[in-house]
Chains A and B, each alone.
Chain A
Amino acid sequence: KAGVTQTPRYLIKTRGQQVTLSCSPISGHRSVSWYQQTPGQGLQFLFEYFSETQRNKGNFPGRFSGRQFSNSRSEMNVSTLELGDSALYLCASSLGAGTNEKLFFGSGTQLSVL
């Protein structure tokens, strides 16, 4: 069974540009959540989708958005990139909607904003 797949693995952009990151969850998983990881800040929750609906959102500006497709694949978009958006973006999937769900993480997309 394939794990969580994130593409691309690395990305270099300049300030003001926009970027789209992709996440394919484990087959059968319906929940996808996104996290931003930076040194010293740990993992900051961005948002979570379940069956194409955003159920929870973290404290990030509106420049960060996402969506989930009917096949559970998810995309995250960041518009008008800032230097501070440089981070490792992690996607995690889980089977259902319970609070005891184990998260399965992808290897992440390393975004560098110059």
Chain B
Amino acid sequence: AQSVTQLDSQVPVFEEAPVELRCNYSSSVSVYLFWYVQYPNQGLQLLLKYLSGSTLVKGINGFEAEFNKSQTSFHLRKPSVHISDTAEYFCAVSALSGGYQKVTFGTGTKLQVIP
């Protein structure tokens, strides 16, 4: 079984300040890691993903995430946020379950950028 924990349900941050959204996971098998973003009244879209290789992954809109196997974490960061980054962010893990892909999402973190 796999699980994802996003400890922060809401994160307020001033415009142009840096932000880190935390994600921890647990799994008994190897996983792939994703961050998705959901803008108001829309579905989710992929920000970035870690499959293998370099543990620092760069995504769209200036976001990046670092995979830390020893801490089972995949925190999302942006050095300078913009008003348009206000959205809900979901961390997800994908692993084999019963021989097939199963994606498990965290409960989400609402990023509120304050002008």
Contacts and interface: CB of A to CB of B under 8 A. Distances in A.
Given A100-B32, A100-B94, A105-B45, A42 B102 contact: no
A100 B99 CA distance: 14
A102 B49 contact: yes
B42 interface: yes
B32 A42 contact: no
Interface in B1-19: 6, 9
Interface string A84-114: 0000001010000111111101111000000
Contacts of B36: 103, 105
B95 A99 contact: yes
A99 B94 contact: yes
B107 A90 contact: no
Interface of B: 6, 9, 31-32, 34, 36, 41-46, 49, 51, 90, 94-108
A56 B102 contact: yes
Given A35-B105, A99-B96, 6 more contacts: A55-B100, A56-B97, A56-B98, A56-B102, A90-B44, A105-B45
Contact of B101 (A40, A90, A101): A101
Interface stretch (A43-51, A64-72, A73-81): A43-51
A108 B100 CA distance: 24
Contact of B9 (A40, A43, A50, A56): A40
Contacts of A106: 43
B101 A97 contact: yes
Interface centre among A4, A33, A90, A98, by most chain B C-beta atoms within 10 angstroms, is A98
Contacts of B104: 45
A48 B108 contact: no
A106 B42 CA distance: 8
Contacts of A35: 105
